[in-house]
Amino acid sequence: MADAIAPQVPPPPGAPAKVPPRIRTVLSAADPPKSGADDKQRAAAEHFVAGIAHLREGRSEEAHAAFEFVTRALPGLSDGWHNRGVALALLGRFRESLAAFDAAIRLQRDDADSWDGRAFALGGLGRLDEALQAHDEAVRFPPPRADFWHNRGLSHLALDHPRQAVESFDKALALEPDRVPSWHARALAFQKMGRPQDELHSVDQILRIDPASIAGWRWRIELLTTMGQDKEAKAARLQMYRAGNADPALQLEHGAALAARGREEKAQACFREAVRLDPNRLEAWLQLALSLDRQSKHADALAATEQVLRLEPSNPGALLQRARFLAELGNAGEALDAAEGAARANPSSPAAFQLLADLARRADRLDLLERALRGALALDPRDVACLHDLGVVLGRQGRVREALAAFDRALRVKPNSAAALFNKAALLEAQGNLDAALTLYDQVLRFNPGHKQATERKAVAQRARGGKRRRPADRGAP
């Protein structure tokens, strides 16, 4: 007798795994014992039973040691060689496994299990043509077994023989109609043949057997979309979401799809269900907060964001959202503190520095505004708007030399920046450098003739200068 164990060998790309060789569970009767042989047979039988237990518990090294003892004690019995081959195959020692199965076959030529094991070992060695020949031998001997036909089909699939693969899978499915791996592999064979309708039929059989198979539903949706059956694909997607109503990841995906279509209330229901099923699902809390924010439900959005920060206190996105939501709720002081924390936590985020700058500007916190602007400039030293604003902030603090340097940096990047020219002129005017200020006001008006403030300040500076300045061409005229 033999029983099957879980697949452990990688399948062909995209295909199910081959079923590993079956374990031989009964040690066949040995030849009539000779004098003194009883103890050896008894010990071999004990090791045989122990080896089976080791295999079933996944302890392949111990199993191999047990069956190695059996084959030394009773080298004329195929069962010990067969199970030794199984243990070696599961250890990935395919060359030794092949030798063990060959020893079993020499002792019992019609041993279908060992032929299947030989094919398994040859496949592990990449000798696919020889593996297929061994599969052909395995299926010749009764009784017919679905595993053998399935494995034969996978060898054909690996050799790019999709038509023959389908024939083998059909044989397996005739014996076990609800064999999902064979329907899966059959669908892949039809995919190779470019027959999407037959591929879809196999996928539908997977879903008949396992209506909750999310992978099966995704496959069906992709196929229907490729075939241009968009209505059917949409219906399949809804069925997938119903099938996965207890799956937090699927609830999150469904919510994101609904949010993308502007169906925020239903999206929020999905996000809430996702966090009910898995309260530690951080992305669901984040998406819930964003969805609530899009409906201006800032208090609820803040509560969802607090849950994110409970799970991950330094989450940069959540820290930024928290600051923004606090600002929307009018908690200016807390918002500013939160924005400062977000900028510290994520010094590579322009959005964090932008928010900190906005809130610091509202609160007239020049120290934080300067920090935000310098942070933004560390990311983009050529940001003219930030350079200009930094110049203004430094000027307001009386740091004239630094302010002028900031305006000069802005003007090197954008020489016709009216804002930088004007504010540099105003700073020079305040310092009493009226000629330089008037020159800059002239430049502003040349680039922007309608600049009202430049026109007004120029007039003031001219009066302070003692009248209209002479144009450069008039200098020295009587």
Residue 467 pLDDT: 57
Answer for the pair 4, 22: CB distance below 8 angstroms, yes or no.
Answer: yes
237 — pLDDT class (breaks 50, 70, 90): very high
- pLDDT score of 25 more than 50: yes
Give residue-wise pLDDT tens across range 371-427: 999 999 999 999 999 999 999 999 999 999 999 999 999 999 999 999 999 999 999
| Common-topology check for domains 1-28+40-141 and 392-470 | yes
> Could you tell me what percent of the chain has a pLDDT over 70?
93
- Which own/partner pairs from 396-402 qualify as long-range (CB within 8 Å, at least 24 positions apart)? 396/366, 397/366, 397/370, 400/427, 400/431
Superfamily of domain 1-28+40-141: Tetratricopeptide repeat domain (1.25.40.10)
Quick one: average pLDDT of 77-103?
97
Report the CATH architecture of 392-470.
Answer: Alpha Horseshoe (1.25)
Quick one: average pLDDT of 34-60?
87
Structure tokens at 406: 């900031």
Give residue-wise pLDDT tens across range 311-350: 999 898 899 999 999 999 999 999 999 999 999 998 999 9
Answer for the pair 107, 78: CB distance below 8 angstroms, yes or no.
Answer: yes
The domain segmentation of the chain, as residue ranges, is: 1-28+40-141, 392-470
Nearest to 357 by CA among 385, 397, 380: 385
| Cα(92)–Cα(443) distance, integer angstroms | 79
36 — pLDDT class (breaks 50, 70, 90): low
